[in-house]
Chains A and B, each alone.
Chain A
Amino acid sequence: MKKRSMVCLAAILCVMLAATAAPAFALDLLSGEGVYPLTTDQTISWLVLEGPTVNTAYASWEESPFHRDLIKQTGINIDWRFVPQGGDAGAIFNTTIASGDYPDILFYGGGLLTNNISLYMEDGVIRDLTEKMPEWSPAYYAFLQNNETYLRSKKTDDGKLYGYGFFREGGGWNDSYLGPVVRKDWLDEQGLALPVTISDWDNVLKVFKEKYNAPLSFAWSRVQSTGISGAFGAYGWSDTTFFIDDDQKVQLAQAQPEWRDYMAKLNEWWSAGLLDQDVFTLKDPDEQTKALNGSVGLSVTSMGQMSNWRKDAANAGSSADWIGLQYPHADDDSLAMVFGGYGIGTTVSVITSACSDEKLETAMRLLDYAYTQEGFLYWNYGTQGLSWDYDANGEPAYLPIVADDPDGINDAISKWGGSTWSGSCIQSNLMLYLKNTPESIAANDLWFYPNEDVSAKWKYPPGITPTADESLEAQDLLSTIEIYIKETSAKYVTGEQSIDTFDQFVETLNSMGLQRLIELRQAAYDRFLAR
């Protein structure tokens, strides 16, 4: 993928101009009018392991507006269940499945569920909803039928429908929530332009180091997935990452020569003191402190963190002007990939065998609500007239109870809506625009729009359903390979191991069963494509 700088710049400018208004997305949803609220005396139990949990401001769901009012909106009595304080979602999921005492609906996204869909359908834990979907969940069914990518990600290899997923209205926009940020005031002070290529980064880093003693620095969790690998034609850093190449073949990012170049550059920066010696142990709060202390000028972080840094600077009266920066390109201006996705979550609500045939319609109608016009508004904004109403332009706007909440609008939205992190719903883009600061929005725009064509196509897509045997075998191989990659990548960066050993590294990976692992992944991916 190559791009001319001019085109790229033009695209950035367009995006920056467009950033002031939320782009409108055509969402063609069915209306639930006349269906909801239902009249039923049935109670549906719903175990929520992540996503739309009760905001910490409330002691129980009875106080939580979102959970309380969903019952009113749908007319269906819900027996909400959550992870208890201090509990671990994965452990609760495991014990719930093992106990045989299932809730009617289970919402979860961890690999435990998604990698084992086939197994659980085989064992009769998860109900097959294919037959009843058009009748009892017409809105969701229509939504899936309207978008081939969505439909493919939410059915099994043999075409069965099993769950209600999480989708972002803006497609991959918010999946690219990580990217480079820079202190604009320092660039201006030193008369530097926004760095575009890796050579520009070299230069900026040297100047920042010399003038401000500020090396390249980031919270480890923000870069261990990919960082700025795209500029090198690489697809990952230290997390074992499988990507899809241009020939639809599954590949391991760390076995490519481009990854070697990436590590070599990081090592060069490390040895020259241009890369923070603490990166491996830094967490978000540490990085936030560094940003506030002026000991970092160029970083990679999330839009949410960037908002925090800006807020800190404003509170401290500092001149620090953090802005989003386009992902760096190679010196020949190519960019292989950026952190992103399809705008489809891995989380899903499934209906278990505990839900009897008599209750199935109620459960399916309850889940379908989120994909109706009314339910979409409810899941994102809450109850009309209470938490939001249409503004003069006919767009939803939060009322003062949300906008002026003492905990801040960012937090308040999750009290009234259920789509902030994930849910079995469609996340509204406008909601995200209202939730974040304009600068963060601009940063996310910059990370996504110019790179839209390379943000998702490389991704091993969500919704692939490996067979039970495939998952078990892959898990075994992966646990060995993952550690080896983490360790070796760290050694390459710190120079403890010479990058010249790369060929032996790949050989060792192969001896650990890499080829078999790729075969397993490829088989599951091929079946996914054939759906």
Chain B
Amino acid sequence: MTSADAVSHLPPRRTVGQALARDFRTNWAKYLIVLPVLVYLFIFAYRPLIALQVAFKEYRPTRGIYGSPWVGLKQFRSFFSDVYTPRIIRNTLTISILTILFGFPAPILLALLLNELRSVRFRRIVQTVTYMPYFISMIVAMSIVTIYTRSDGLFSQISVALGGQPQNLLINPRYFYPIYVISDLWQYIGWNSIIYLAALTSIDQEQYEAARIDGASRYKQVLHITIPGLRPTIVILFILRMGGILNVGYEKVLLLYSDPTFAVADVISTYVYRRGILGTAVSYSAAVGLFNSVVNVAFLLGANWVSRRITESGLF
């Protein structure tokens, strides 16, 4: 995208180095603009990769990451022989898949519905109300959930009014996933729909006009114009979401789980938090984290591959 300059047409062959040097001379300002990003990536994304070696060591605080002794795959072996490993992987996948199943289509639906609203005022109000919860800090949002699900909370009172017994919903292992998923919807549906609303504005209005002239109903218009128009956005977001399949944030689980729900609620990230931060098993936690990332990358690539096959669009 460089501006065409006369010089570049003249020499037919050049080495890569020469080409780079020349390019740099002409476009040094652009390189300068990119520089902070490169530095950022190096410091925060690539340099830590070197420290990943701690997963293959037995970390001793006094010797640091580089000075600690190598132990090979010991940490991985100990992770896969841990009695809790199958359980935390299962819980992580369950929570993740449930949130994708319900949490992924919901903002798309909301965006489509908002798009159909005629009253701009009403639409704005609905939009604001639905994305408000996103701005409530996790701790406060989860305290609200905790209070509402108590034996004297709103939901228990409703069930009592309908003839049930007062009970704490949050300590019942059966209700943990519904509470997690529904509160997730409440927290993120509005915020996540914003990107779809933005994508909707880029759909050519003339297509709708043409469809109307052809006599297409509003439902048909959504089906044949709006959804295909949103498809690239949906696909990209879905692939990215799959890349985080083993990422169930520890904050929310940590704030919601209690002794009675440990068996269904303990996930990889809370496990790593307890072992690594509270228990200072640094190497062990790094190994689990590395395993986590590898699985995530596998899912990301898999989703991308499937998407290329089916929809012919993907991330790369």
- Using CB atoms and an 8 Å cutoff, list the residues of chain A in contact with chain B: 88, 90-91, 94, 97-100, 112, 116, 119-120, 123-125, 220, 238, 276-278, 280-281, 286, 295, 472, 475-476, 479-480, 483, 486-487, 489-491, 494, 496, 512
| B65 CB within 8 Å of chain A | yes
Q: Are A98 and B61 in contact, CB atoms less than 8 angstroms apart?
A: yes
**Complex interface: chain B residues within 8 A of A295 (CB):** 152
Q: How far apart sit A496 and B171, CA to CA, in the bound complex (Å)?
A: 11
B170: Cβ under 8 A from any A Cβ: yes
| Chain B positions within 8 Å of A120 at CB level | 62
Of all chain B residues, which has the CB nearest A508?
A: B83
CB <8 Å contact, B65 and A281:
no
Q: Are A476 and B78 in touch, CB under 8 angstroms?
A: yes
Given contacts A487-B262, A487-B263, contact A475 B61 (CB under 8 A): no
Contact with A along B121-154 (1 / 0, CB 8 A): 0000000000000000000000000110011100
In the complex, identify which listed stretch (B98-106, B197-205, B275-283) lies at the interface while the others stay far away: B275-283
Contact B259 A487 (CB under 8 A): yes
Q: Which of B63, B78, B146 contacts A123 (CB 8 A)?
A: B63
Q: A278-B152, A281-B168, A483-B266 are in contact. List 16 more A-B contacts (CB 8 A).
A: A88-B277, A90-B278, A97-B61, A100-B64, A112-B61, A278-B150, A278-B151, A280-B171, A475-B281, A476-B78, A480-B82, A480-B83, A483-B84, A486-B262, A490-B259, A494-B260
Interchain CA distance A376-B82 in the complex, whole Å: 49
Question: Which residues from B are CB-within-8-Å of A479?
Answer: 274-275, 279, 281
CA distance A112 to B58 in the complex (A): 16
Q: Which residues from A are CB-within-8-Å of B292?
A: none
B212 CB → nearest A CB, Å: 55
Q: Does B258 contact A (CB under 8 A)?
A: yes
Closest chain B residue to A100, Cβ basis: B64
Q: Known contacts being A281-B150, A295-B152, is A494 close to B171, with CB within 8 Å?
A: yes
Chain A residues, CB < 8 A from B83: 480, 512
Q: Give complex CA distance A476, B75 in Å.
A: 11
Return B50 CB to nearest CB of chain A, in Å.
15
30 contacts between A and B (CB under 8 A): A91-B277, A97-B62, A98-B64, A98-B65, A112-B61, A112-B280, A116-B61, A123-B60, A123-B63, A125-B62, A238-B259, A277-B167, A277-B168, A277-B171, A278-B151, A278-B171, A280-B259, A280-B260, A281-B258, A472-B58, A479-B275, A479-B279, A480-B82, A480-B83, A486-B262, A487-B262, A490-B260, A491-B260, A496-B173, A512-B83
Q: Is the CB of A483 within 8 A of B260?
A: no
**Which B residues are in CB contact (< 8 Å) with A480?**
82-84
In the complex, the chain A residue whose C-beta lies closest to that of B87 is: A483
Tally chain B residues at the interface, Cβ within 8 Å. 36
**Per-residue contact bits, chain B 248-289, to A (CB 8 Å; 1 contact, 0 not):** 000000000011101100100000001101111110000000
In the bound complex, how far is the Cα of B152 from the Cα of A82, in angstroms?
A: 42
Cβ–Cβ < 8 Å partners of A494 in chain B? 171, 260
Say how far A466's CB is from chain B's closest CB, in angstroms. 14
A483: B residues at CB distance < 8 A:
84, 262, 266
Asked if B229 lies at the interface with its beta carbon under 8 angstroms from chain A, I say no
Q: Which residues of A contact B152 (CB under 8 A)?
A: 278, 295
CA distance A99 to B62 in the complex (A): 8
B232 within 8 A of A: no
B171 touches A281 (CB 8 A): yes
Closest to B82 in A: A480
CB-based contact A280/B258 at 8 Å: yes
For the complex of A and B, list the 5 residue pairs with the smallest distance between their C-beta atoms, beginning with the closest.
Answer: A490-B259, A123-B62, A490-B260, A97-B61, A280-B258
B280 A90 Cβ-Cβ under 8 A: yes
In the bound complex, CA of A276 to CA of B156 (Å):
14
Taking the complex as formed, is B244 at the interface, i.e. its CB lies under 8 A from any CB of chain A?
no
B61 partner residues in chain A, CB cutoff 8 A = 94, 97-98, 112, 116
B260 and A277 form a contact (CB under 8 A) = no
B129 CB to closest chain A CB (Å) equals 28
Q: In the assembled complex, which residues on chain B have CB atoms less than 8 Å from the CB atom of A123? A: 60, 62-63
Chain A residue at minimal CB-CB distance from B275: A479
Q: Is the interface of A mostly helix, strand, loop or mixed?
A: helix
Contacts of A496 in B (CB 8 A): 173, 260
Q: Is the CB of B280 within 8 A of A94?
A: yes
Contact partners of B274 in chain A: CB under 8 A: 479
Please report the C-alpha to C-alpha distance between residue A88 and residue B167 in the assembled complex, in whole angstroms: 36
**Residues on B with beta carbons closer than 8 Å to the beta carbon of A98:** 61-62, 64-65
Q: How far is the CB of A13 from chain B (nearest CB, A)?
A: 39
Say yes or no: B64 contacts A489, CB within 8 Å: no
Q: A286 vs B280: C-alpha distance in the bound complex, in angstroms?
A: 31
Least CB separation from B280: chain A residue: A112
A479 to B273, CA, bound (A): 12
B282 proximity list for chain A (CB < 8 A): 94
Which residues of chain B are near A486, meaning CB under 8 Å?
Answer: 259, 262
Choose among A88, A97, A238 the residue with the greatest number of B CB atoms under 10 Å from its CB: A97
Chain B, 159-180, contact with A by CB distance < 8 Å: what is the 0/1 string? Answer: 0000000111011010000000
Bound complex: CA of A404 vs CA of B277, how far in Å? 41
* Distance between Cα atoms of A119 and B166 in the complex (Å): 52
Given the known inter-chain contacts A281-B258, A480-B82, A483-B84, please indicate yes or no for A119 contacting B62, CB distance below 8 A. yes
Distance A119 CA – B68 CA, assembled complex (angstroms): 14
Separation of A491 and B259 alpha carbons in the complex (Å): 8
Q: Which residues of B contact A277 (CB under 8 A)?
A: 151, 166-168, 171
Q: Are A281 and B146 in contact (CB under 8 A)?
A: yes
Distance to closest chain A CB from B235 (angstroms)? 38
Which residues in B have their C-beta under 8 angstroms from that of A278?
A: 150-152, 168, 171
Closest B residue by C-beta to A237:
B259
Q: When chains A and B are docked, how far (Å) is the Cα of A281 from the Cα of B147? A: 9
- Kindly provide the distance from the CB of A262 to the nearest chain B CB, expressed in whole angstroms: 15
Minimum CB–CB distance from B3 to chain A (whole Å) comes to: 47
Chain B residue at smallest Cβ distance from A487: B262
**Chain B residues, CB < 8 A from A472:** 58
Most buried by A among B58, B262, B275: B262
| Residues of chain A with a CB closer than 8 A to B151's CB | 276-278
Across the interface, which residues of A come within 8 angstroms of B258, CB to CB? 220, 280-281, 490
**Contact across chains for A475 and B279 when beta carbons are under 8 A apart:** yes
Cβ of A487: which chain B residues have Cβ within 8 Å of it? 259-260, 262-263
Complex Cα gap A286–B151 (Å): 13
Nearest-Cβ distance from residue A253 to partner chain B, whole angstroms: 16
Q: How far is the CA of A277 from the CA of B164 in the complex (A)?
A: 15
- B286 CB to closest chain A CB, in angstroms? 13
Q: Provide the residues of chain B in CB contact with A99, threshold 8 Å.
A: 64
B168 contacts across to A, CB distance below 8 A: 277-278, 280-281
Contact between B170 and A90, CB atoms less than 8 A apart: no
Q: Complex: how many Å from CA A91 to CA B82? A: 25
A409 to B183 CA separation, bound complex (whole angstroms): 42
Bound-state Cα–Cα, A74 to B277, Å: 37
Contacts of B64 in A (CB 8 A): 98-100
The residue on B at minimum CB distance from A493 is: B260
